[in-house]
Amino acid sequence: MEVVKITPRGYCHGVVEAIRIAKRVGADRGGSEPVTMLGYLVHNEHVTRELEEGGVRLIPETDRMKGLEQIREGTVIFTAHGISPEVVDAARTRGLNVVDATCSDVTRTHDLVRRLVAEDYHVIYIGKRGHPEPAGVLGIAPDRITLIESGDEVDSLPFTADDKLAVTCQTTLSMWDTQSIIEALVHRYPHIEAHNEICLATQERQEAAVLAADNVDCVVVVGSSRSSNSKRLVQVVEEKGHKPAFLVDTAADVDPAWFTGMRRIGVTAGASTPTHLTRAVIAAIETLPEVPAAV
Ligand code: SF4
């Protein structure tokens, strides 16, 4: 089977930096005090296991405040997705040493939301409920930020066209979905201040996957089912590239039956997927024989 390796794919700068920070803290402090990541540092179980082997334990709790209550001492590492200021304050009050591995792109959105709130805007934030990144942003000013997930929610928003509104978004959503939600908001609230904060790494991976879809029969995305940006790669290939797409965590998840009647398979990877997993998936697909479709 022919494999088209889609670039860019895999680790982004935010993930590389978060892993570097966590490994360093684990190595420096792990021998003398508990070192705990509050939630998955990045959404990939293989990365998590490697960090645990390096002395960094995981509290998987999605509700960061509840997770924090389980940490009695030592160092707490906040994940690449960002953290609510309330949780940071609570960690300090508990006497924990705080290490923040928030991606600089997420920090930029936090700074933007802080500025908008200080300037008296109400912020509409497009994001996925239950994901840690929106939770971190909402914590900046819970009464001044409204989370929406889809364009269907725009019509039921309680604001008037005269309200001082701004819109921004989670960094790892589909760039096309987000743009259409922003357009619906601009249509209803012509004076809204719009800030599309999809990060460059997400945009580049989505654009490359959709472009590649023209020249392949399907796309395999290597990434965790927890990973927002990996799931969005599957979505944009299907919706914008109009080709089938499959999410696999490892080579063991590749199902040869997917490729019946196909010749060229595109492979990409989410921003939190270790390179060795993607290499193994590519090798596994390359060894598969072409199977013609039944007539
Ligand atoms: S996907 Fe974007 S926001 Fe998330 S860690 Fe990578 S660069 Fe940062």
pLDDT at 293: 87
Over residues 177-197, the pLDDT tens digits come to 999 999 999 999 999 999 999
Ligand 1 neighbour 285 (Cβ under 6 A): no
Give me the sign of the Cα torsion angle 230, 238, 130, 248.
negative
- Pocket probe for ligand 1: among 199, 204, 268, 273, the residue whose CB has the most ligand atoms within 8 Å is 199
State the maximum Cα–Cα separation within the chain, in Å, rounded to a whole number.
69
pLDDT at 224: 94
Question: Domains in the chain, start-ordered, CATH in brackets?
Answer: 2-11+200-286 (3.40.1010.20), 13-103 (3.40.50.11270), 105-194 (3.40.1010.20)
Closest CA relative to residue 54, chosen from 12, 21, 87, 103: 21
Residue positions annotated with a catalytic role: 133
Q: Tell me how far CA of residue 122 lies from CA of 24, 132, 149, in angstroms.
A: 39, 21, 17
Residues with pLDDT less than 50, the chain: none
CA–CA dist 245, 87 (Å, integer): 37
Ligand 1 neighbour 172 (Cβ under 6 A): yes
Burial of 191 (0-12, 13-18, 19+ CB in 10 A): exposed
pLDDT at 43: 87
Q: Tell me how far CA of residue 229 lies from CA of 26, 115, 128, 224, 271, in angstroms.
A: 26, 26, 12, 9, 7
What is the CA(158)–ligand 1 centre distance, in A? Answer: 31
Nearest CA to ligand 1 atom 5: 14
Beta strands in 93-175 (DSSP E): 97-100, 122-126, 145-148, 165-169
